């Protein structure tokens, strides 16, 4: 097999791997909507409840239930407070039940649950546990979009560079530098800017906090610095590149925002590094 053919195959593998990671990240972790299913009159009804609100305005809870006899209520309170549960009644908009949770400051969270009733007032569904929804300030698209593009390009290049190094393709050194560059731009420059817009702090990873997303970016960046510097001046240390690619792959499959920013309502401070088991 020629080098050109190998490169084509490696590009395809790297692209598929990156796309798979992107889908995995989208469908896992504490910010992905929580889905439930229940049966009513032999009909399966599926609902999805949000766990992240893009903006600090009221969060819409929308249930696609066209049975006009179904009604419901939401009960909620600020997360990790002694607030009494408040109640909101769903109202119907055509084939949907709609309610609004009150907006919260950046990194503020609400815990909420819901109960649905049939036309006779009998309960037909209730959430088995409270859902946690986190609010974040809006990030301008001109900031967020470049960040996402740069990060996923870095992930693509990381996989590609690792494959090049395994196959002893000489241009792995060039791609090592490009991978490092994209991690620098996307993770270490644009990442903190996104964090500042969303939660008011540029950096909440090591040594200032335990934000997992920041720390993942830092770990990847450090490993790629080592891989790049270890192959300067004619040195051939492909194992460093392969190691960096493997480390990046491992940290990429850790769910996004698993340990993120959280507003402490008692002190008004934003804290990081909190894992919530009922987010899963």
Distance CA(85)–CA(74), nearest Å, equals 10
Residues 116-135: what's their mean pLDDT? 93
Q: What pLDDT score does 259 carry?
A: 61
**Helix, strand, coil content of the chain in percent (nearest 5):** 40, 25, 30
Angle at 35 between CA 16 and CA 194, to 5 degrees: 60
Residue ranges covered by each domain of the chain: 3-29+139-279, 34-136
Distance CA(132)–CA(232), nearest Å, equals 48
Lowest mean pLDDT among 61-65, 170-174, 237-241, 276-280: 276-280
Q: What are the pLDDT digits (tens) for 150-160? A: 999 999 999 99
CATH architecture observed for domain 34-136 = Sandwich (2.60)
Q: What pLDDT score does 258 carry?
A: 59
Considering the chain, what percentage of its residues have pLDDT values greater than 70?
Answer: 94
Residue 243, C-beta contacts closer than 8 angstroms, at least 6 positions apart:
223, 227
Residues 6-35: what's their mean pLDDT? 88
Residues 212-235: what's their mean pLDDT? 91
Angle at 69 between CA 66 and CA 71, to 5 degrees: 90
Q: At what angle do helices 3-27 and 141-166 cross, to 10 degrees?
A: 140
Lowest mean pLDDT among 63-67, 75-79, 157-161: 63-67
Q: What pLDDT score does 55 carry?
A: 87
Q: What pLDDT score does 276 carry?
A: 46
Q: Does residue 184 carry a pLDDT above 50?
A: yes
């Amino acid at each position: 097999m020629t080098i050109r053919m190998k490169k084509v195959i490696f590009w395809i593998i790297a692209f598929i791997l990156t796309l798979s990671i992107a889908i995995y990240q989208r469908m896992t972790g504490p910010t992905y909507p929580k889905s439930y299913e229940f049966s009513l009159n032999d009909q399966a009804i599926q609902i999805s409840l949000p766990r992240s609100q893009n903006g600090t305005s009221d969060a819409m809870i929308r249930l696609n239930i066209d049975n006009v006899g179904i009604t419901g209520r939401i009960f909620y309170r600020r997360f990790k407070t002694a607030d009494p549960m408040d109640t909101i009644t769903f109202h119907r908009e055509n084939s949907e039940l709609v309610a609004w949770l009150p907006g919260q400051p950046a990194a503020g969270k609400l815990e909420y649950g819901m109960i649905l009733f049939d036309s006779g007032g009998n309960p037909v569904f209730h959430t088995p546990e409270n859902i946690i929804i986190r609010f974040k300030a809006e990030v301008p698209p001109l900031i967020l979009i470049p960040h996402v593009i740069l990060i996923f390009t870095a992930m693509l290049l990381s996989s590609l560079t690792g494959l090049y190094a395994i196959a002893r393709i000489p241009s792995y050194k060039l791609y090592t530098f490009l991978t490092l560059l994209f991690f620098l731009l996307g993770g270490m420059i644009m990442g903190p800017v996104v964090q500042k817009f969303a939660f008011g702090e540029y950096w909440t990873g090591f040594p200032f906090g335990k934000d997992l997303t920041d720390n993942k970016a830092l770990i990847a960046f450090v490993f790629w610095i080592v891989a790049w510097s270890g192959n300067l001046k004619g040195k051939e240390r492909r194992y460093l590149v392969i190691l960096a690619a493997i480390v990046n792959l491992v940290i990429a499959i850790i769910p996004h925002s698993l340990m993120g920013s959280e507003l402490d309502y008692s002190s008004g401070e934003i804290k990081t590094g909190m894992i919530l088991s009922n987010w899963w």
